[in-house]
Chains A and B, each alone.
Chain A
Amino acid sequence: MTILFMLIPLGLVLVGFAIWAFFWAVGDGQFDDLESPGWSVVMDDRAPVDPTAQDLDPS
């Protein structure tokens, strides 16, 4: 059971990392809007249109 002396502190480090990651995500605003980012997957994501390039487009 002496392996516990190593595994549990390792677990604590992982928990610390998880909490840090979560704090970062919260601070980054990832939990502020839980709805619209899901939509961005189904919406076509086009590159920003360059006005000069648009003129050459026949459509």
Chain B
Amino acid sequence: MTAAIKCYHCQELIPPDLSLTAEVAGRTYGVCCLGCKAAAEMISDAGLADFYRFRTAAAPRPDETNDDIWSTYDRPEVADPLLGQEGASSVVNLLIEDTRCSACSWLIGERLRRLSGVARASMNPATGRAQIAFDRSQVGLATVLRSIASLGYRPHVLGATDTLAIATKERRRALKRLAVAGFGMMQVMMIATGLYVGARQGIDPIIREYLRIICLVMTAPVLVYSGRPFFEGALTSLRTHHLGMDVPVVIGLLLAFAASSWNTLTHQGEVYFDSVTMFIFLLLLGRYIEMGARHRAGSTSEALMRLVPATALRIRDQRRERVPVASLETGDLIIVPIGECFPADGRITDAATEADEALLTGESEAVAKPVGSTVVAGSMNVGAPVTIELSAVGQSTVLAGIVRLLERAQTERPRMARLADRAATWFVTRVLLGAMVVALIWLWIDPARAFEATLSVLVVTCPCALSLATPTAVTAATTALARQGLLVTRADALESLAGVTQVVFDKTGTLTLGKPQVTSIQAVSGSKESALDLAASLEQGSEHPLAHAFAGIRVTSRAEEVAVHPGEGVEGWIIGQRLRIGREAFVAAIAGPRPSTVGEASVYLGGPSGWVAAFQIGDALRPEAARTVRELQRLGLSAHIASGDQDAAVMSVAAKLGITDAHARLLPAQKLAFVQALAAQGQQVLAVGDGINDAPTLGAAAVSVALGSGSALAQASADIVALRGDLTTLPMAIEMARRTTRVVRQNLLWATIYNILALPIAALGLVPPWLAAVGMSLSSLLVVLNALRLTSLRPAGSRPAATGVACLA
């Protein structure tokens, strides 16, 4: 087998010395691990090999471990609160991690439907949600979860009620409102055309009155049903004494509808039903698009919550029992084995351990946790099995706090939109006053034309184009970016991003992969290969993050009596030789002081017979980093590195990427000072990072991007989260932001010019209300269409997303 061959299932590179194959649909393919082999053969055996033809992305790599973590889900006390009832079958909502394309959802659906007892399995690849209905007497929840896990995906049980259900309900309701408004608008427009033509060419008065009544009949349900959100919004804004956008909308709608109805029933004057329906439809359309973007943002915070395991081992009355995490209480004692996440915040009572808080802090090094120290929910126990006394559960944990923080950021409205809203409020009060003045003047000049002129002023100057200008452009851009895996969490981010002049990168995990790898070996005795072999066999049992550097290495020797010393290293016996790997002091305790020939390194290996080797453990560059930096420089931005890492590592990364300004050994406070110094020079700074030590930097920069693979805290303080952890989306986002700002400016300019021109003409009574309505609607439509250009066009230089067509070709 050649060295550079990729695994048929997960598309990762197969280690050169490995020869594992899987038989799929009668052909033999190379795979990278036993998990992939099992998954590929299972898929093939089940007659689902089509998956490989239709997928647009690689399949996730399944875990090789055989630990059955799912069996607890068959216990009634665990399963019951998670399941809902639908007729005779039980329903569960799942969030399935790593579903990458439509073929994945097809595969999962097919696999589940073949289980006897599964009545329905529907899966949405866009959200990663699946809903499964099954007969509990035939198949258990554990079996369902296990079969998904066997395909290599990670299922998370969301429970019977799900925020998605709420979102779905909201979307469905909005869609219905939009449909009623749309159908109503089409009908009314069509009939109104007849009325307009009739007004010019002459029309039978009976037909005219008849058409008007039809318009009234069609408009009433649109106003009452589709217009309801505006009435509700106006009511709340009146109750809070704040003139929002909804107030003028409602006044305009009610006034136009009331006048039209009155004129229809009294057979006189003009009717404006067409403007009413069109107005409602256009506004609803804008809100519908905005809602879609909001829902997508909501799923990130849910992804954070699933860090917490579903069950825990509780000790009560000297007995151990597995219970659902939801039933834990403060003060409970629970046991957390190695490799499992802490389900709640608590204090360690019995033994020292280490916790990997990478998911919360981004720090790859495990934190030592002596007896009595506190651990937080969502971090992983990597040292030793411990008992903890719970101090906070459920919504009061640190993790839940972070999630709330993120949610708050997501509900914030863009500053640009708030400004436009304030401007609109200001404008609205002036318009209402102006309309009153116009009405009084006209009543004095010519009472017969007073109502029409006043209504024209109200309709023509309705600030909806002004109010729509920003939100539509921002939501259009946000949606387009979300499709590329960039989540804009703070609404102002796009505006700031457009004006960015400097980019400050963190190194570890941002420009590099953030996963430790052995970069150099200094062998004191024996060859480098044998040293690596010894080290890898010792580290096999260790969960320590640095040990992961040795994970991919094939070992020939076997370590016995391996003992993990948390925070220090690992000790074991290999071929009758006692060996220690770990920190300098730990190895020196049996090997004597470090000889001067052994250089400074990350990890040492040695035994009573002397020092064996020193390993430098480092971090590889992201493959797309160089291209991204080039792209950013092409956009006129200068790049900097601000890292906490050693000089040599930082300089070599900077040299490889062509970044001239690199700073090493910076403390978080110094990073912050660096960014602030740049800002003080009048530069707009974009900070890119992933860890907790980046959090202040991210907060201080004008706009910040956190990579999705990083810590939750960094993500919470970042304006934009790159969910795929792909740097190339960065230049794309900047281009998109610049285009968005351009579109917003065009929109605001257009809306302002339109209103300035239209207001005096309407006040002079030169604009009939129908023309005012057309003008207003056209100006809004123009603004919305201009904004929608952002979704349809792909910025130059970006790579097209994988599409179904591309996959089939």
Contacts and interface: CB of A to CB of B under 8 A. Distances in A.
Do these two chains interact? yes
Interface of A: 1, 4-5, 8, 11-12, 15, 18-19, 22-23, 26-27, 29, 31-33, 35-36, 38-40, 42-44, 46, 48-49
Given A11-B187, A49-B114, A43 B50 contact: yes
B47 A46 contact: yes
A32 B168 contact: yes
A43 to B, nearest CB: 5
Nearest to B56: A39
Contacts of B46: 49
Interface of B: 46-47, 50, 54, 102-103, 105-106, 113-114, 122-126, 168, 171-172, 175-176, 179-180, 183, 187, 191, 204, 207, 210-211, 214, 217-218, 804, 808
Contacts of A4: 207, 210-211
Contacts of A27: 172
B54 A42 contact: yes
Given A22-B179, A27-B172, A35-B102, A48 B214 contact: no
Given A8-B191, A46-B47, A48-B114, A39 B204 contact: no
A19 B179 contact: yes
Main secondary structure on B side of the interface with A = helix
A21 to B, nearest CB: 10
Nearest to B109: A36
Given A12-B187, A39-B804, A48-B114, A31 B125 contact: no
B106 A39 contact: yes
B183 A36 contact: no
B113 to A, nearest CB: 7
A54 to B, nearest CB: 9
Contact of A39 (B54, B207, B214): B54
B204 to A, nearest CB: 6
A26 to B, nearest CB: 5
Central interface residue in A15, A26, A32, by most chain B CB within 10 Å = A32
Contacts of B171: 31-32
Given A27-B172, A43-B54, A48-B114, A36 B179 contact: no
Contacts of B172: 26-27, 31-32
A27 B804 CA distance: 28
Contact of B808 (A15, A42, A44): A42
Given A18-B183, A19-B183, A39 B103 contact: yes
B176 A26 contact: yes
A1 B204 contact: yes
B210 A5 contact: yes
Closest 6 CB pairs of A and B: A39-B102, A33-B124, A22-B179, A36-B102, A26-B172, A26-B175
Chain B CB within 10 Å, residue with most, of A1, A27, A38, A42: A42
Given A43-B50, A46-B47, A49-B114, A12 B204 contact: no
Given A31-B175, A49-B114, A36 B124 contact: yes
B749 to A, nearest CB: 35
Interface centre among A15, A29, A39 (most CB of B within 10 A): A39
Contacts of B207: 1, 4
A36 B175 contact: no
Nearest to B167: A32
